[in-house]
Amino acid sequence: MARVSPETERRGILNGMSTSLLDGSIGSDPLTPDILLYGSDRTPRIVAVERAGVDAMLLYCRNVDGSTSTLRDQFRPWLVADRAEPWAALRRQPQITTLVGDHPLRFLIRFASWPDFVDAERAARETKETYVRLRSPIEQYLLWTGKTLFKDMIFDDLRRLQVDIETTSLNPAAPDAEIIGIAIRSSTGDEAYLGRAPHEPESNLFRELNDWIRENDPDIIEGHNVFNFDVPFLISRAERLGIPLVWGRDGSPPRLGQAPQRFKVGAMTLPFTPCYIQGRHVIDTYQQIQRYDTAGRLGSYALKRVMRELGLERGEREFIPGDQIRDAWHDPEGRERLGRYALDDVRDVDALSRLCLPTEFYQTQLVPRPFQSVATGGPGEKINDMMLRAYLHARHSIPRAQQPRDYPGGHAELLRVGDFRPVVKCDVESLYPSIMLADRIASKSDVLGASLPMLADLTARRLEAKAASRRTSGSEQAMWEGLQSSFKVLINSFYGYLGYGQGHLNDFDAAERVTLAGQAIIRTVVDRLNATGATPIEVDTDGVYFVPPSLIEGEPAEIAYVAELGDSLPAGIRLAHDGSYAGMLSLKLKNYALLDRDGVMILKGSSLRSRRMERCFRTFLSDAARTFLTGDRDTVRDLYFGLGERIRARDLPVDDFIQWGMLTEQTLRSQPRFKRLEARLALDTRTGDRIAYYDRDDGELALATEYAHDESIPYLLRRLHDVVDRFRPLFESDAEFDAFVPRLTTRTNLTAARAQEAAAQLDLFG
């Protein structure tokens, strides 16, 4: 039997390999799972959509031969309202259609042009009309037409361009600010360093960059922290020099968003100012690596450290410390090093993009949004757009979103603290989506029954993609992994959508039913662990860390044991082995350290992995946790006294104890020391500069660049004890801990303290 080609198999999974159908249909186009997930329009290889005048859209397509072509399509803006009369009274009357069904938003209003839509909506806001609309004309067009980007493409079909700049200042408005070099790399493998000597004009760099973008015609422009640094810096310097940036596919300049947006990553939302380039998408790998790091394994999201922690760092990589870049630029050999350093940065950005961006790419084939919007938007927004698309496709009325209310969350419980060996984690696979499918829990507003068929079909397609990933390798496997990962993210978003305050088909009662069922299931798992001789340590929503019974040794036995535990769970709920560890430090709820079988350590929780913590204390925490996990407490004590001695001797480089902060108006109002620092140095804070500072021995703050061996030793010693105090739960009593690591001051006799501590330990342990 001939093997199905990877492309044919992928198309099958994308385009309806599952055979289930939504019960019933409206009109001539049935709401199959394929239409629910991917929209009704099959236009292939769209890489961007932009407005073209007041009543049309321009579609950019990446052809199979690598060239770009355009399509023009009519565009009529729309909204859905609860009354027809105000819209019928408009001077330029829109088209009004009554949608089927009993939901309150049942009048579809379509306008002849975008200006008509803007004027009508402005008037409707003033009269407080109730309606639903999408702010973006591109999203309106995609949702209405059933089109999505990237159909019939794989991630490697994209033309991507990585950019990194080297500058003399972090502030483009500073008097000495200049761009001294720009590194560029294309996914085709072409790369260049656009450098200049100090006597050469900065304007040349912008012209060369313009030429590179025009000639390479990228679909995506990528960088690490590109939203908050590279792009605004480039725009600011170009404006000062009067150089036009012709980056758009139509030759238009890039534009910054008028207001900061929030980037959703896990439970956090982080501010950023977006940049828009006509016909292209801007992607920030600093954001994307945070979404990729769902397990919280990375200690920092700075480019070099991410590459090191992911095992992607190249041995021959060039590195120049930030404070040496200006000096390197003034030296001919240094400029050559600077070029190698910058090119290594864009190579790293490309590697990160290949690792973490396929998930967002394959989501964009499903979600009616531009790629950049998918890559920065939250999961609730994406499911909401897919649900609205289904209802408009069926010409069905839309419900109002329920008002948010509190409801029980996942079951999280710390059962034991201490040091445990060995440790296993079991996990209920896709707990909440599995409950929704098993118990048929959906929003009562979803009268079309669209959500559960979508969820079931996504689940089936993910299993097919995972199976394909296991039997392939290389770039083909990467494609399947990106596909199954995108499915997984959306699958897990269906539960969150029930409790999404802005979701038009949300349902907080349904969300509560799911969480209560989840709590009951995870308690059943804990009860079974206790009954079979295991030692549960911590429970977190859908998983349990535990010490297995003494007779369970080795991963195969652990997997079999977990499978046996899962036999007691309801049908459709699967318990899986989710990790095996040499040891675990359990300190407090959701704060723990794990040492895996290969010696890799994972720190979880704010107690152990605060990125705002000074580098010397982050290193101490990591080293101390690893040493506790290996059972060598004496070495932890040596680490503590050793760092105390170095602090006392002012033997640490300034980079080891600086802190990073953003000078904003709010910071300056609420923290007088920052205000005094700004006044003392006449800092320009208009751009919200990120600064490196430390506590000086006179109680004031100082910039790292001012360092004069004047750091506050008492402050750093207090910080050291605050950090080591996080391990207090590992000790039987406060007296034992206080004897183990006594507080250090500038007057402490360290030799005597070590001796007293050793005697106390001997007395405690005999």
CATH H-level, domain 156-359: superfamily: Ribonuclease H-like superfamily/Ribonuclease H (3.30.420.10)
Average pLDDT, the chain: 89
Block residue for tokens 């305050």: 501
Predicted confidence band of residue 757 (pLDDT cuts 50, 70, 90): low
Q: Does domain 408-442+507-609 have CATH number 3.90.1600.10?
A: yes
Q: What is the pLDDT of residue 664?
A: 67
Alpha carbon distance 598, 582 (integer Å): 9
Quick one: pLDDT at residue 24? Answer: 34
Contact 480, 468 (CB under 8 A): yes
Could you tell me if 347 and 365 are in contact, meaning their C-beta atoms sit under 8 angstroms apart? Answer: no
Q: Look at residue 175 and tell me whether its pLDDT is greater than 90.
A: no
Reported as a pLDDT band with limits 50, 70 and 90, residue 6 is very low
At 178, the pLDDT band (50, 70, 90 cuts) reads very high
Q: pTM value?
A: 0.85
CB 568 within 8 A of CB 524: yes
Provide mean pLDDT across the span 559-588.
94
User: What is the full DSSP assignment across 272-341?
Assistant: E--EEBTTBEEEEHHHHHHHH-TT---S--SHHHHHHHTT---TT-----GGGHHHHHTSHHHHHHHHHH
In the chain, CATH 3.90.1600.10 covers 408-442+507-609
Residue 637, amino acid: R
- What is the DSSP secondary-structure string of 238-259? HHHHT-----STTSPPPEE-SS
d(CA 182, CA 191) in angstroms, rounded, equals 11
Alpha-carbon gap, residue 625 to 392, rounded angstroms: 55
Q: Which residue has the tokens 């999505």?
A: 148
Q: Where in the chain is the domain with CATH 1.10.132.60?
A: 615-765
User: Which DSSP string do the residues of 5-37 spell out, in sequence order?
Assistant: PHHHHHHHHHTT-S----SS-SSSS---HHHHH
HSE on the CB side for 144, CA within 13 Å? 20
Distance CA 154, CA 157 (A): 5
- Burial class of residue 462 in the structure, from the number of CB atoms within 10 Å of its CB (0-12 exposed, 13-18 middle, 19+ buried): buried
Computed on alpha carbons and rounded to an integer, the radius of gyration of the chain in Å comes to: 29
- What's the whole-number mean pLDDT along residues 722-735? 95
Q: Which of 359, 358, 352, 382 is nearest to 370 (CA)?
A: 382
Fold observed for domain 615-765: Topoisomerase I; Chain A, domain 4 (1.10.132)
**DSSP for residue 228:** I
- Closest Cα partner for 537 from 423, 415, 432? 415
Which tokens is 74 given? 């009519």
User: Within its chain, how far is the Cα of 608 from the centroid?
Assistant: 20
Residue 397 token pair = 């009325």
Look at residue 130 and tell me whether its pLDDT is greater than 60. Answer: yes
Asked whether residue 20 carries a pLDDT value surpassing 60, the answer given is no
Q: In the numeric block, which tokens belong to residue 162?
A: 């990585």
Mean pLDDT of 138-166: 96
From CA 468, how far away is CA 633, in angstroms rounded? Answer: 47
Among 161, 211, 215, 212, which residue's Cα sits nearest to residue 347? Answer: 161
d(CA 46, CA 25): 28
> Who has greater pLDDT, 406 or 3?
406
Q: Dump pLDDT digits (tens) for 692-702.
A: 899 999 999 88
Residue 50, helix vs strand vs coil = strand
> Which CA distances in Å does 188 have to 48, 67, 149, 213, 465?
19, 13, 21, 13, 27
**Looking at the predicted structure, is the pLDDT value of residue 121 above 50?**
yes
DSSP string, 412-463: EEE---EEESSEEEEEETTHHHHHHHHHT---TT-TT--HHHHHHHHHHHHH
Give the pLDDT mean for 560-570: 95
